[in-house]
Amino acid sequence: MSGRFAARNKTAIAGYAHSPVRRHAPRPLGALAVDTARQAIADAGLEPGQVDGIVTGALFPTAGSHAVEDGISTVTADWMAEHLGTDPRYVAGFQGIGQIPGAVALAVNAIASGAADHVLMYRALHNPPGRYHANPLREVGGQQQWTAPQGFFGPLAMIALPYNEYLQRYGATRDAMAAVSVEARKNGARIPWSYWYKQPLTAREYLAAPTIADPVRRYDCDIPVDGVAAFVLTSAERARDLPHRPVYVTGYASGVPATRRLPLHWPLDDIMSGGAATARRLWEHAGLGPGEVDLPQVYDGFSPFVWFWLEALGLCPAGEAHRFVADGRIDSDSPGGLPVLSGGGALGNGRMHGVPQMLECYLQLSGRAGPRQRERAAVAVACHSSPHYGGAVAYSSENFLAAAGGALRTHQKGPACGTSHTPAMLVCRGQAGRGRRAVRRAEPG
């Protein structure tokens, strides 16, 4: 498949930087974001003045009563543009849910259209003092009048309802979720900037932790943190002249809310039907199928999203993700395991939203994962948020279309790719991957 995305593999990630992830950073979020942005620009082999595009998604994802203050609790693209001290041509923010795929799409579109040559894409997340979601609401109007007086409020109840709906519908047990949090923390414990560095979680600890909103336990939730990640994207052609091996953006898709619901009411059927549509758009856009993805980094801000994404992407049949994870099929250290949380995810890094998924795709496909480098990492997908509201981006380590044309150079750096792949090889490798994993797969439509 060639995909219907005209800019397929024509843009690439050229560099990155990541701040330490802390419960509370010792410095204001804005300054941390500017420092991280400058590090990412330097990592890409560029000067700040060469970065002429700035994009982000600046949502402050809390139900709490905290004031939203630019540069303190969020860092908008305008704030960054003002403080970075450059003269960008294109500055934009993604407004929806699924900020990482949304912001990557802004960057890709700007580069492909020529609106900008080098785009800084970043995400800055803040953990305010006090309880993250607590809100001393006394009177409530607007949309929340339909839910808050009734006691339905905040993301815990939001995720608990479809999670329990899944358990009841498929006869799953919540103890099966232990494999998700344990896998995320195992991998996060290996990442030096992670909040959970050197702190893996045992299944016993997972099971012993308190329940917050049945069936959600404490370690089903990512921990709120201060942290910033930044990436530099540019055209595939320019990226080949920069220090690091490019990681090409092969396609993207964002979810589209289809059914009107009460605020934060995400019924399982909405998540899965919307998620199937998101996945279908992604595969059509990227010209890929689930069997061709070496590294499907699924979102895990709440652990049930891992089950939902596994099924939405077609990596396991509907209703079987709970067995899939409980059987060790997502153990990234196992030869037959599907590395869906090899970057630690949000559960293993802290509440960095979809950053850990995107970063793992970049590090593995660019050959920069260090001791965590995986042998097989040529095609990856980074998911964010819920399958129906969020989105996903597909990445490739090789510019397949260019390789087929034979006109462009291929990078030989990194262990993942000793020879240039052609589209035919991609298909063969994908089929081999299916056999190797023996993954039973639902039709992605």
Sequential DSSP letters for 147-200: TTTTT--HHHHHHHHHHHHHHHHHT--GGGGHHHHHHHHHHHTT-TTSTTTT--
Does 333 interact with other proteins (rule: CB under 8 A)?
no
- In whole angstroms, the minimum distance from the beta carbon of 254 to other proteins comes to 20
Site for other proteins in 181-210 (CB under 8 A): 210
DSSP lists the bridge partners of residue 251 as: 394
Does 63 interact with other proteins (rule: CB under 8 A)?
yes
8-state DSSP, 374 = -
- In whole angstroms, the minimum distance from the beta carbon of 131 to other proteins comes to 7
Sequential DSSP letters for 61-123: ---S-----BTTTB--HHHHHHHHT---SEEEEE-SS-HHHHHHHHHHHHHHHTS-SEEEEEE
- In whole angstroms, the minimum distance from the beta carbon of 209 to other proteins comes to 12
Does 319 interact with other proteins (rule: CB under 8 A)?
no
**Per-residue x/- track, 265-304, other proteins (CB under 8 A):** x-xx------------------------------------
Does 17 interact with other proteins (rule: CB under 8 A)?
no
Q: Which of 281, 18, 185, 366 is nearest to 380 (CA)?
A: 366
Whichever of 140 and 425 has its CB closer to other proteins, that residue is 140
Site for other proteins in 144-173 (CB under 8 A): 145-154, 156-157, 160-162, 164-165, 168-169
Part in contact with other proteins (CB under 8 A); list of ranges 31-39, 97-105, 132-140, 333-341: 132-140
* SS3 (DSSP) at 326: helix
CA distance 444 to 285: 14
Q: Which of 232, 249, 233 is nearest to 9 (CA)?
A: 249
**Per-residue x/- track, 230-269, other proteins (CB under 8 A):** -----------------------------xxxxx-x-xx-
Does 129 interact with other proteins (rule: CB under 8 A)?
no
Site for other proteins in 417-436 (CB under 8 A): none
* SS3 (DSSP) at 423: helix
Q: Where on the chain is the footprint of other proteins (CB under 8 A)? A: 63-64, 131, 133-143, 145-154, 156-157, 160-162, 164-165, 168-169, 210-216, 259-263, 265, 267-268
